[in-house]
Copies of this chain bind each other. A is one copy, B any other.
Amino acid sequence: MSHPHPELSDPPEPPADGLRIVALGGLGEIGRNMTVYEYGGRLLVVDCGVLFPETEQPGIDLILPDFDYIRDRLDDIEAVVLTHGHEDHIGAVPYLLRERPDIPLVGSRLTLALLEAKLTEHRIRPVTRVVGEGDRSTFGPFDCEFLAVNHSIPDALALAVRTGAGLVLHTGDFKMDQLPLDGRLTDLPGFARLGAEGIDLLLSDSTNAEVSGFVPSERNIGPVVDEVFRTAQERLIVACFASHVHRVQQVLDAAVANGRKVCFIGRSMVRNMGVARELGYLNVPEGIMVEPKELEDVPADRLVLVCTGSQGEPMSALSRMANRDHQQIRITDRDTVMLASSLIPGNENAVNRVINGLTRWGARVVHKGNALVHVSGHASAGELLYVLNMTKPGNFMPIHGEWRHLRAHAKLAALTGVPDENIVIAEDGVVVDLVEGKASIVGAVPAGYVYVDGLSVGEVTETSLKDRRILGEEGFVSIVIGIDSSSGKVVAGPEIHARGAGIVNEDFDEVLARIDQVLRDAAGDGVNDLHQISQLVRRTVGKWVSDTYRRRPMIIPVIVEV
């Protein structure tokens, strides 16, 4: 369990006419958003995303929500509503569908199209239901209304859920761009209408709750992109998220205006932009695209490459270019590189390495640190206040955020007049019941990390990770000893092997002598239990390493019986 709640116990049975809300992810962390609503014995799941690992989870590919809470009740799920197509909201769906493939997936046209492209790679054909803003649909006891919200991906939706327990507004991720490129505003009038009806509980995006003021419009980036196009000496390389359709649209528009051809680089960029184009979310002017194999035919100053890698991912095309490791593209001092994206916390080092690498070869690097080439996808404090004031919720629960963001958002809610006792700050697994217009914490369920590593899901445990952390920091020393099973005498070894411990083979003479002595003493004392011998060896070697090197590698005695 990543977030134990020693102070909270198992929850009681759900109240007869209450709505139960349990987030299995997204509270106390940014990522793997998943909220389970329960009413009248039926479940509605909102979002099912992944969390990307940090350095504390070495070797891990993805972190999923723990489905244990609903594993025995998969048949009770009426639907999974996906608010938008980002990985931290849809990425865990393939893993949930492995457990019950016919759970209905509900979302907007683009959201479902992106999800289906992904599910195809997992060889899953899902049951889907497209909805749009203004739609109202019933899933079992859940009467759902969908509202448009603006975000850094098109076609995002907020969700209003009506049950016998009242009206809940779940915003999903959103921002409040008042001049959005596609004209699709966050539906504040709709929020106001629901507020007038009486919102019993508001769950709202906390990502930027600590940031004061207002997020600039995506529109402000256009002139900056244009300026970079105009001043780029020769080749231009733009890195951004593979889902940021509007950002890519701005690059395409600038390419047309400046007479450059565009080439998409990388699987996810090609796939997502293909989906967006097909559905009409991305307008690709005739004849502007070139294929990677045609790059040689286009003069460098007539070219713009669009790729991922803006987070410094080591295997990305951009990282390989920065290391002069890329087969096709060799960075020179005539190149301009634009990182047109945010810097996700945790990736600072990796991005810095890419910027330094590109700079080393003389490229001009434009990034959010030196130009307005990115605006956040999440509403800031000033904008969150609008939502709170328009919705006037009876109860408030901040979602999508770490502790610092949840607390900051709670403070904003209090400032707009939500009574302290009606503000619920919960972590993953905390059980919140909405009964008779009052939301309260009633217990907690396990909601630990489930690790995806290679093909395995959930098999890599905290113990494995602890081993990895020790091995990664200190390496190991193993001691192999063969013991005759009848006589108990040492017949082979001890042999010592060290890896990553910074100890070279020549250093082993002294400790081998010590082990020999310990084994002789043990034999003299009549010790013949293999486990005991193993412990003696471990202590001897551990002490030697600690005294000699002040280090604590993993010590692994292996006693084989011959």
Chain A interface residues toward B at CB < 8 A: 28, 54-55, 58-59, 210, 345-346, 348-349, 352, 355-357, 359-360, 362, 365, 369-370, 402-404, 407, 451, 453-456, 459-461, 464-465, 467-469, 471-476, 478, 480, 482, 491-493, 495, 497, 499-504, 548-551, 554, 556, 558, 560-562
Main secondary structure of the interface of A (DSSP, over half): mixed
User: Is there an interface contact between A467 and B403, defined as CB atoms closer than 8 Å?
Assistant: no
A546 to B, closest residue via Cβ: B454
**Shortest Cβ distance from residue A545 to the other chain B in the assembled complex, whole angstroms:** 9
What is the CA–CA distance of A558 and B560 in the complex, to the nearest angstrom? 11
What are 9 A-B pairs at a CB distance below 8 A?
A28-B360, A59-B474, A345-B352, A356-B404, A362-B407, A455-B548, A471-B471, A476-B499, A478-B556
Given contacts A453-B502, A480-B480, 10 further A-B contacts (CB under 8 A): A59-B475, A356-B402, A357-B403, A359-B404, A456-B549, A461-B502, A464-B499, A467-B475, A560-B560, A562-B562
Does B497 contact A459, Cβ atoms closer than 8 Å?
no
Residues of B with C-beta under 8 A to A475: 59, 464, 467-468, 471
A467 partner, pick from B345, B478, B499, beta carbons under 8 A: B499
CB distance from A515 to the nearest CB of B (A): 14
Report if A467-B500 is in contact (Cβ < 8 Å); known contacts: A359-B404, A476-B476: yes
Task: Return the contact of A345 from the options B348, B492, B502 (Cβ within 8 A).
Answer: B348
- A492/B562 in contact, CB under 8 A: yes
Using A453-B502, A558-B478 as known contacts, say yes or no to A210 and B352 having CB atoms under 8 A apart.
Answer: no
In whole angstroms, what is the CA distance A402 to B360 when docked?
9
CB-CB under 8 A from A359, the residues of chain B are: 403-404, 407
Q: Find the B residue at minimum CB distance from A404.
A: B359
Q: Which residues of B are found within 8 Å of A365, using beta-carbon distances?
A: 404
Given B54, B357, B473, B549, which contacts A349 in the complex, CB threshold below 8 Å?
A: B54
B59 in contact with A473 (CB, 8 Å): yes
A454, closest chain B residue (CB)? B550
A454 near B348 with CB under 8 A, answer: no
Q: Judging by beta carbons under 8 Å apart, are B556 and A558 in contact?
A: no
A471 touches B499 (CB 8 A): yes
Q: Do the beta carbons of B492 and A482 come within 8 Å of each other?
A: yes
CB-CB under 8 A for A502 and B369, given A474-B59, A493-B560: no
- Shortest Cβ distance from residue A280 to the other chain B in the assembled complex, whole angstroms: 37
Closest partner residue, chain B, to A333 (CB atom): B407
Which residues of chain B are near A500, meaning CB under 8 Å?
59, 464-465, 467-468, 471
Q: Tell me which residues across on chain B come within 8 A of A456, comparing CB atoms.
A: 502, 549
B472 near A560: Cβ-Cβ < 8 Å: no
Residues of chain B with a CB closer than 8 A to A561's CB: 492
Q: How far is the CB of A362 from chain B (nearest CB, A)?
A: 8
Kindly list chain B residues whose C-beta atoms are within 8 Å of the C-beta of A493: 560
With A370-B210, A472-B468 in contact, is A502–B460 under 8 Å at CB? yes
Question: Is B349 a contact partner of A346 (Cβ separation < 8 A)?
Answer: yes
